[in-house]
């Protein structure tokens, strides 16, 4: 089951951001994420600026989340293209991986982008995370020339 992401779910986004930053090995603590603006910006969901997202919900609570943030030029993310291209993030709780939840969440987020007539969505993926990169490319994301340092990929909405 999925539901829309709410603006009061900063703790879920902190857990998700930590999971993404620490995907291969522990690098950051929650406190370090909060203290670093380049990391903390991924925990701030602001619907008023156009941010949108979806949560995978099980009986015991959220098990995954996909969210898109419209980050300003003065606070760019690692997958930042420009202020009118939202940056996409997705995370699935470790116990729930391998069940297609990441693909489902990504698909739901891209459907929301189509409905909102968002022309493009970007993301950043570590070059070592081959499984994630292949998922994104399978769903239509392509590498951005010059974005190799942070593994920037871009999805273009064919309906806009």
pTM given for the model: 0.95
**117, 84 contact by CB (below 8 A):** no
pLDDT in tens, 54-63: 999 999 999 9
CATH number reported for the structural domain that contains residue 143 in this entry: 3.40.630.30
87 confidence band (pLDDT: 50, 70, 90)? very high
Asked if the model's pLDDT at residue 111 lies above 90, the reply is yes
Q: pLDDT tens digits for 8-30?
A: 999 999 999 999 999 999 999 99
Distance CA 155, CA 147 (A): 14
CB 5 within 8 A of CB 52: yes
Q: Which domain holds residue 149?
A: 2-156
Number of compact structural domains in the chain: 1
């Amino acid at each position: 089951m999925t539901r829309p992401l709410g603006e009061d779910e900063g703790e879920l986004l902190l857990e998700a951001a930590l999971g993404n930053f620490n995907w291969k090995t522990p690098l950051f603590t929650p406190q370090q994420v909060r203290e670093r603006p380049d990391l903390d910006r991924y925990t701030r969901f602001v619907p008023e600026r156009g941010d949108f997202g979806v949560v995978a919900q099980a009986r015991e609570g959220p098990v995954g989340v996909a969210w898109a943030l419209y980050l300003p030029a003065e606070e760019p993310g690692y997958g930042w293209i420009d202020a009118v291209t939202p940056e996409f993030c997705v995370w699935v709780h470790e116990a729930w991986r391998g069940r297609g939840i990441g693909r489902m969440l990504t698909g739901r987020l891209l459907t929301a982008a189509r409905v909102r007539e968002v022309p493009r969505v970007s993301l950043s993926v570590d070059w070592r995370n081959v499984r994630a990169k292949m998922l994104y490319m399978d769903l239509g994301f392509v590498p951005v020339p010059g974005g190799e340092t942070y593994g920037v990929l871009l999805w273009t909405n064919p309906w806009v």
